[in-house]
Structure 1
């Protein structure tokens, strides 16, 4: 029997290697880590800075990779927002994920109106330090940071200019996870409005990149939620 496919959608500034810390714990799945252009294995492609274009890019990757095995989607932060749109595109094409797991994001409509991608470099760096996740050796190395900065700015623009407030709910069940110190963590159940399927949520200790502190729990959520939803009859 084929393993279920797990598609991973990275956070701002991430790439196909961003979830390496968790992949050894996901041995029940065929793990497929996606990435947007302009980084990792797609370094030679131009960056995207438009949410719709990014979602369509990920959708095309998934459509090209799915087999007859069941599949699910996991996205963190920017990847969580993209997961919602991508799932709608997949469902419109008759390809419904068994489950969708989102983390580091309280869902559409709750983000403060801000355009961090337009900040000057010192202010942009302050924002990155507040979020965490970017090693100090990158921030403190001017040449190295200069390499990552365009990718980060493009991804922040994707994340901050999304048009998801009026996004229709998906049919797939959804599990939302956030860190206890994240902005809007108390409103995590906002995600409930964006699924017609089963919904569950959980808060784990930590900041925006709490997933790096809880790889076993995140992997456990992905696995257990998938198996629970796969066992249920789908309408």
Structure 2
């Protein structure tokens, strides 16, 4: 493919460009998260893999843009952007909310015949497993208490009222998007799926993670790590080992 969509630079961050890499890893952030969360992943995998971290509206350099409160709308907007990156094999990695966004974008790309070669769904129950959650309806302190409980954001962030005001709109809209998300019945990908989860994640049980198997006609694998919802921050080496094994196999077959 040649050329990039006009808004590719708006959505995609390439911290360590790897133009000669045989494949791309596209990373989808969690609720309230930003592209910079995946800077260490990019640093470790480059230049063997071209790592693209996505930046949703309403945060960091896109903080003045309206937040998107619907997973399907996010997927619809990301779909044409990621189509432009399909000139090399795509691997998707999404954590928490990012896992279901990655799943929905993968569905759209597969309809085009340009789907990812693998989906890594981290820290999120399968699309067919629902919980009645209302974090997005809480007051500001209620949302911040939820984030602190998940240990997903450095406590120093909350020491600054200015930063808190900046991140709250994105947090609330992201929670609304993921808590109101419903997948289409029978949604199945052709590509393999690997589900990754912490063994003490209050947001995702091991069985809810295992249910991702229902959403692929390809190979399925479940990887369980010690830790909670943000197990990947405390077990980065173990997570990278799983990702690297897949990416090395891709490179060997290129």
1:133 maps to 152
Deviation at 1:229, TM superposition (A): 6.9
Mapped partners of 2:174, 2:136: distance in 1? 8
User: Which of 96-105 and 218-227 deviates more?
Assistant: 218-227
**1:88 maps onto 2:107 in alignment:** yes
Deviation at 1:3, TM superposition (A): 2.2
- List gaps (5 residues or longer) in structure 2: 1-19
Q: Is the 8 A contact 1:22 1:216 kept in 2?
A: no
Q: Is the 8 A contact 2:23 2:90 kept in 1?
A: yes
1:219 maps to 240
1:210 maps to 231
Deviation at 1:116, TM superposition (A): 0.7
Corresponding residue SS for 2:93: strand
2:7 maps to none
Deviation at 1:31, TM superposition (A): 0.4
1:194 maps to 215
Mapped partners of 1:15, 1:61: distance in 2? 17
Q: Is the 8 A contact 2:63 2:166 kept in 1?
A: no
CA-atom RMSD in angstroms: 1.9
Mapped partners of 1:25, 1:201: distance in 2? 23
TM-score of the aligned structures, taking structure 2 as reference length: 0.84
**1:105 maps onto 2:132 in alignment:** no
Deviation at 1:131, TM superposition (A): 1.1
Mapped partners of 2:227, 2:176: distance in 1? 25
Corresponding residue SS for 2:106: helix
TM-score of the aligned structures, taking structure 1 as reference length: 0.91
Aligned partner (choices 56, 61, 66) of residue 41 of structure 1: 61
Deviations 1:50-100 (A, max 9, x none): 111111122222113332x21111100000011111100000011021111
**1:116 maps onto 2:135 in alignment:** yes
Q: How many residues align?
A: 231
Deviation at 1:42, TM superposition (A): 2.6
Q: Which has the higher contact order (CA 8 A, sep 6+)?
A: 1
Mapped partners of 1:94, 1:230: distance in 2? 21
Mapped partners of 1:169, 1:203: distance in 2? 22
Deviation at 1:141, TM superposition (A): 2.7
Q: Is the 8 A contact 1:173 1:229 kept in 2?
A: no
CA distance change for structure 1 residues 73 and 195 in 2, over 3 Å: closer, same or farther? same
